[in-house]
Structure 1
């Protein structure tokens, strides 16, 4: 596997080594020892989630606060998404900045987002199956997030505004400058 660091400290892109032959392909999608070496500390994933979405569906920007904060390892098994992480760590030199990466069934890349980041994605293909591992259990009372169209973040989601399909819950999320302290 190849590890690519991002401008946001702690966020990394993982590209697997793929073995192709006339039968198809094989790759190791997760190895705890190699993963922990790559991030520099032990991450214990305890929950796996999967979503299925149509083109234009934007999910995010979400996070879990406090004791329920989550690191995520995300990937796409069908289709293509633009995946985005926003640094919400107040003391970070990249606070309020984002990084995006295209994840697809073709590139098999994974994106690791540590605690202290809001996360979201938009489906660019007709449909997408999105999978992610979390290192903490979901807790409804600890939900938080940022508005996907925050002008200070200025995220290019890759599709025109009229093509976006966003939940009411996500539309109501605050801009970063109006958000509560997430505790990071």
Structure 2
């Protein structure tokens, strides 16, 4: 794993072992994960979504504490995965970074508590699995419109966008700043400190 430009986000680029039967790779190891990120991933929920080409899911985030850290992988097809720093007071607040996740290179992205997440399906039947540190709790979940110019995410122009009703009605980043629902960088860092494994 290596860190992304947004503190609290990493990408895993596994070594893939192909042979005449197919291929094999490790997409998660708890000990290596804890050593690199400095925290353990508490698994509370595992999700799987299948999306048609153009389906755009997100940008979603959760209240911290406890937030919802995610370890995300595309197991079929391809998606453009986006991490957005929504933590007020963060040095990279408002910045986003994208990664291609697909069933060829088998990359996975980890985003810690307080970061926003979304992805755009680049193929039909794009299948994404993600491990979550906390279960879904609608009262703690929030969204920002993924096409908000205030975020300025550079989604591919050649893919027709399909949003859920909820995501289409999500407010802008500026509206979330005004309503006070964005997570605090200091609070997120303090919460993550409490997740460090005992030595």
- Measured against the shorter chain, the TM-score band is over 0.9
RMSD: 1.3
> Which residue number in structure 2 is paired with residue 141 of structure 1?
139
Question: For this pair of structures, how many residues does the alignment match?
Answer: 181
> Which residue number in structure 1 is paired with residue 77 of structure 2?
79
Q: Structure 1: which 5+ runs fail to align?
A: none
Counting only pairs closer than 5 Å after superposition, residues 62-101 of structure 1 correspond to structure 2 as 62-101=60-99
Q: In structure 1, what is the Cα distance between the partners aligned to 2:66 and 2:38?
A: 21
Q: In structure 1, what is the Cα distance between the partners aligned to 2:75 and 2:23?
A: 14
Which structure dedicates a bigger proportion of its chain to strand? Answer: 1
Shift of 1:121: 0.3
> Which residue number in structure 2 is paired with residue 26 of structure 1?
24
* 3-state SS, counterpart of residue 122 of structure 1: strand
Higher deviation after alignment, 3-12 or 49-58: 3-12
TM-score normalized by the length of structure 1: 0.94
TM-score normalized by the length of structure 2: 0.87
> Which residue number in structure 2 is paired with residue 167 of structure 1?
164
> Which residue number in structure 2 is paired with residue 118 of structure 1?
116
Runs of 4+ in 1 over 6 A off after TM superposition: none
User: Which of 128, 136, 159 in structure 1 is aligned with 2:126?
Assistant: 128
* 3-state SS, counterpart of residue 70 of structure 1: coil
> Which residue number in structure 1 is paired with residue 173 of structure 2?
176
Shift of 1:43: 2.1
